[in-house]
Amino acid sequence: MKRHVIFFLLALFFFLKTNAQCAMCRAVLESEEGQTAAEGINDGIVYLMAIPYLLVGGIGFFIYKKYNKLKK
User: What was the pLDDT predicted at 17?
Assistant: 58
pLDDT of residue 16: 58
Tell me how long the chain is. 72
pLDDT at 5: 83
35-69 burial by CB neighbour count: b if 16+ within 10 A, else e? eeebeebbeebbeeeeeeeeeeeeeeeeeeeeeee
Is this model's pTM higher than 0.75 or not? no
Type of residue found at 62: F
Separation between Cα atoms, residue 42 and residue 40, nearest integer Å: 5
pLDDT digits (tens, 9 = 90+) for 2-37: 788 887 877 777 665 555 556 676 677 777 777 777
CA distances from 64 to 8, 27, 52, 55, 68 (A): 17, 43, 18, 14, 6
| Tens-place pLDDT, residues 40-70 | 877 888 888 888 999 999 999 999 998 888 7
